Chain A
């Protein structure tokens, strides 16, 4: 379903009032790539995601998406306009609609005009990817387990037929086994739909397992850009941050 989609961020500064969170951040995500944005808590990963989605307005810098050869400046657009372009976020902590059923959550994901006519087919696709959700389609998502909720959050984003998928900390609050499964699902969706993926994650080993390459964000700056997953694994900075050696 996806055409080619890429993302280029340059010189991005953002913050909340007097608090500066991102300083001169630049990164690129090429078509069909899975890029990991690594860093521990409070380094600005979510803020960066929110800037792309139009949920936070950066003070400086540019965010450009290229969709099917057409370059679009994302800054100044509202979140719904950005979703209309096919850029969709799986928010940190799932952020489902807890009183609504699984199916209602998924159908709400298909608000995007381009995805609306195909929502029934996409619903089938999601149920095919996540058979558990089909069993639970009538259940209120607020009553589901964390792993199931993460499936709903991923499926809800897929319902919008994303071209560029942003995933913010999919591992939060999940048991290690479920983190691994979630990562596998993201990789599977990326493959099946030809998505371009930017994923913010703290869980370094799991993220590197499915990423093509990655960036390490420390105190709002990109401290290291790795050209491959292998480079990430070998980098001394990463070792210091994650393994304390």
Chain B
């Protein structure tokens, strides 16, 4: 946090060195990942990679509201499913490709987030969390009864075998999610170093005091819920193409909501890097468990890891690394 303060004090050059390092590093990492996976030449690698990246984006999106502003969203699965079903609906109605569907999912998720923000004007703490949980249940019910997108039977999505520069469709999906995740993390990182991030931290610490200090808490909360909602929906937008089949049980799965909260907490909520580490760690564990034991073990693993971290490292991995500077 010290770094952030000093950055806020210094007159900013057009493109600060930190940004160059971040975006350059991200680009290199992306290239290295794609090149490495190509060498592996294993379709499963793309599949597992996508699984992890989807959680990097979901956890980062949750963290914008939950970590920075302190508003706990228990309905991440609802937002993710809205993104997934936006794609299903638009594909069926207009035969749109995946990329325009992702853009549409961002808009619809953002609007839904804005609506949640309206809730956050009145509800705080536990009440806000319960309201988001109910929102997910409500959306679930709507989708189950919406026959155009398959209702409770679900919908099949015929995906192309491959898209030209990419070897397989799995690789294409991986690259798409990789780019989306990097954009999401970049946005979160940008918020963290900005006035918006400072204002959100203030209202997280003491909303009344933030108001009294002149921080426009209302506007900041709406920005945070909108961004968070948009990015969560984006994380879900390619889901139907990833599995080839989408039903409400899968899209609104409890695992999404639980992971969206557990990953930032384990990695270190309130920092852009925390959700990334948390997601990579937990999603890899779950993917490994799915292959070796059964996907039924996944939530149990999350639970156990979460309990260990809550007891041993309440500020997450990032907090462990930084040491006990706070409390």
| Partner among B2, B206, B217 whose Cβ is within 8 Å of the Cβ of A97 | B206
- Docked CA distance A51–B178 (Å): 51
A95 close to B8 (CB less than 8 A) = no
Q: What A residues does B195 contact at CB under 8 A?
A: 111
Q: For the complex, is A9 an interface residue (Cβ under 8 Å from B)? A: no
- Docked CA distance A84–B211 (Å): 11
Q: What A residues does B327 contact at CB under 8 A?
A: 140, 142-143
A140 close to B202 (CB less than 8 A) = no
B326 close to A108 (CB less than 8 A) = no
B210 close to A91 (CB less than 8 A) = no
- Docked CA distance A70–B267 (Å): 52
Minimal beta-carbon separation of B8 from chain A (angstroms): 6
- Interface size of A by CB at 8 A reads 32
- Docked CA distance A95–B1 (Å): 20
B212 close to A79 (CB less than 8 A) = yes
Which of A99-107, A213-221, A227-235 participates in binding chain B? Answer: A99-107
Q: For the complex, is A239 an interface residue (Cβ under 8 Å from B)? A: no
B208 close to A108 (CB less than 8 A) = no
- Whether A104 contacts B208 in the complex (CB less than 8 A), given A79-B214, A80-B215, A143-B327, comes out as no
- Docked CA distance A98–B325 (Å): 12
B214 close to A111 (CB less than 8 A) = yes
Minimal beta-carbon separation of A90 from chain B (angstroms): 9
- Whether A111 contacts B213 in the complex (CB less than 8 A), given A140-B325, A140-B327, comes out as yes
B202 close to A108 (CB less than 8 A) = yes
B214 close to A84 (CB less than 8 A) = yes
Q: For the complex, is B9 an interface residue (Cβ under 8 Å from A)? A: yes
Interface residues of A in 46-93 (CB under 8 A from B): 53, 55, 78-80, 83-84, 88-89, 91
- Which B residues have a C-beta under 8 Å from some C-beta of A? 1-2, 4-5, 8-9, 195, 198-199, 201-202, 204-206, 208-218, 325-327
- Which A residues have a C-beta under 8 Å from some C-beta of B? 53, 55, 78-80, 83-84, 88-89, 91, 95-101, 103-104, 107-109, 111-112, 120, 138, 140, 142-143, 156-157, 160
